[in-house]
Amino acid sequence: MDARLRRGRASLAVSFFVQGAVFALLVTRIPALQDRYGISNALLPVFLAAVPILAGVGSVTTEHVVKRVRPTVVLRCVQPVVCLALLASGSGSRLWECAAGLALFGITVGALDASMNMLGVSLQRAYGRSIMLGFHAAYSLGGIVGASLAWVGAHWHLSLAALYAPSVVVLIPVAVVAGRWFVDEQPQVAEALQEEERTAAALSFRPLLPLCFVMAFAYIGDSTVSNWSAKYLQDILHSSEQLSTVPYNVYMVTTLLGRAVGDLGVRRFGPAPVVRFGSVLAACGFAVVAAATGPWMGMLGFTVLGFGLCVIVPQTFAAAGRLFPQASDTAIARLNVFNYVGFLVGSPLVGGLGDAWSYRGAMLVPMVLVLATLLYARSFGGKTDRYGVGHERARAVDVG
């Protein structure tokens, strides 16, 4: 294997790690953000919904940007900005300052997610075997670190600024240094680019639609954990503030473990059976959460959830790359929008049902939607994860 590809794989994993840490630092401290800015329970879903809407805008914009600028450039530019947006969201004193920080976070995180997964699918095709779960395992590891830091902040009653500032000071240099070794394809000839643009322009949305549904359903489940697990444990299961930060951490630990071995499962059984198994397991996790009688039973449910959901999203991105090998960047950018559709629907859906009816009952909705992914499992391909040789685009591998 080319040493450049190995360095590119490691550096992209670092980027996923940084993003996992930053995202966890935000979502696990939503109750603290709410208290700092005096955001009412009625207004909180609006703030939570605005982030994925803007992230979808960022992802769609990236689809067009990468036709002229390589994904490596996009990733290098936006990742430090995402870190700074995290700091801004926790450092203000007025509601509009929180809104501005979250808006910046949303639009840049959309570009970040799209460009990271573009590079991941490209590298996976270059390797000729499943490695996408490994990148998302690095994201989960970052989430564990971020959630652990959030627990420390809650335990020692640190302000959000005091928690976020040291984290950002460390994470930005790590992201910048890792960016030196990103691997992308550099244009060889104008004809190759023109052919790719024609293919992307002709990309039919219809074959991608089943994967879009799967992505949305998976992220409805994921957003339920990230946005509501802390409040669910604290308000419904009557845990302490410190303990309320733990479910997301447990969830990220289980996604890390599942993704660490998930590529082996995909290589052995193929992507479709792995996705089916994950869907059933995730539904069982939601059922346990809904029936929980105390914080520790709730924690068990989030544990099972992590093992189930962890395989679905990486394999959905990989399936899009296989389905559209000549226009994978366009397919992934469009598919990534449904990441945010899931967040957009999931957050207010669970919150609205919880306020109007029951938070326990609201947990059954993502359970049913995750089970619905079984209907689309055939879209993940046959029994093999093999891709053949070479890249999906007529470009030569280049470092940075």
**Burial readout 332-363 (b: 16 or more C-beta within 10 A, e: otherwise):** bbbbbbbbbbbbbbbbbbbbebbeeeebeebb
Q: What pLDDT does 392 receive?
A: 36
Please give the biggest Cα pair distance in the chain. 63
**Helices of type H across 179-234:** 190-201, 209-231
One digit per residue, the tens of pLDDT, for the chain of length 400 reads 588 889 999 999 999 999 999 998 998 888 899 999 999 878 887 887 788 899 999 999 998 998 888 999 999 999 999 999 999 999 998 999 999 999 999 999 999 999 999 999 989 888 888 899 999 999 989 988 998 898 899 889 999 999 999 999 999 999 999 999 998 754 443 344 445 555 554 556 778 899 999 999 999 999 898 778 888 998 899 888 778 878 877 888 899 999 999 999 998 899 999 999 999 999 999 999 999 999 999 999 999 999 999 999 999 999 998 888 777 888 899 899 998 898 888 877 888 888 888 889 999 999 999 999 999 988 887 555 554 433 333 333 343 4
The answer to whether the pTM exceeds 0.75 is yes
Q: What pLDDT does 248 receive?
A: 77
Structure-token pair, residue 358 = 């029951």
- Tell me the β-bridge partners of 186: 396
Distance CA 213, CA 215 (A): 5
